[in-house]
A = this chain, B = another copy of it.
Amino acid sequence: MSSGELAEEIGVDPTQVRRDVAALGYVGKAGVGYSVDDMIAILEQALGLTNTTEAVLVGAGHLGTAICRYPGFSSYGLRIVAAFDTDESKIGTSIGEVKVFPLSELGHIVRRLGVKMGIITAPASSAQGIADLLVESGIKAIWNFAPISLRVPDDVMVRDEDMAAGLAILSRFLAHGRKTKDSDGVCQAGQ
């Protein structure tokens, strides 16, 4: 497969493809292109999809439940090993395969299992406290679904899946009828 075909497919410049592929250390064949199999292997490797990532989830509400049950993640190497909540009625129950534990057990369990990823599906009001708790327990990557910017140490990565931001960008488009580059930055400033 050639850089031109790939570029066409994803709507970018062919040079961009060649550049990125080269940056990953994969060398194609001049006059021929790239091997699809090699390409897949290289990308999986680069994205860290080859190893299974274990994660804990905090906040067993609707969103947490949806994520625990989402069938796609296992094929991307994610395994949720425990869920936490403060709601007495949820503790002890299971969401699919995932057991729900009291939040007070979090530090204990995370440290014991050596889990490095935490997923926050709790309300915004308790998200920062949960993040602190996760970081303190040794978590290095946080997937944050709460609509709030979390403060964490530099060596911890946060990925915001901030739905309100996504919604704001779409709303803006509908209201003003144009797509902007700055939307993201402006939105953060607004929080």
Interface residues of chain A, those whose CB is within 8 Å of chain B, are: 6, 10, 12, 16-17, 20, 23-24, 40, 43-44, 46-51, 53, 61-63, 65-67, 69-70, 72-73, 76-78, 116-117, 124, 140-141, 143, 147, 149, 157, 159, 161, 163-164, 166-176, 179, 182-183, 185-190
Contact = CB atoms under 8 A, between A and B. Distances in A.
A163 B72 CA distance: 10
B166 A170 contact: no
A20 B70 CA distance: 38
Q: How many copies does the complex hold?
A: 2
Most chain B beta-carbon neighbours within 10 Å: one of A20, A50, A72, A170:
A170
B66 A24 contact: no
Given A159-B170, A172-B48, A186 B72 contact: no
A39 to B, nearest CB: 8
A51 B24 CA distance: 45
16 contacts: A6-B189, A10-B149, A16-B185, A44-B190, A48-B173, A48-B175, A48-B176, A51-B171, A51-B175, A67-B163, A70-B163, A73-B163, A73-B167, A78-B167, A78-B171, A143-B170
Secondary structure of the A contact surface, majority rule: helix
Contacts of A67: 163
Contact of A43 (B10, B48, B189): B189
Contact of A48 (B46, B65, B166, B168): B168
Given A70-B63, A169-B159, A173-B141, A189 B20 contact: yes
A149 B9 CA distance: 10
A166 to B, nearest CB: 5
A176 to B, nearest CB: 6
Given A72-B164, A163-B70, A179-B157, A172 B20 contact: no
A16 to B, nearest CB: 7
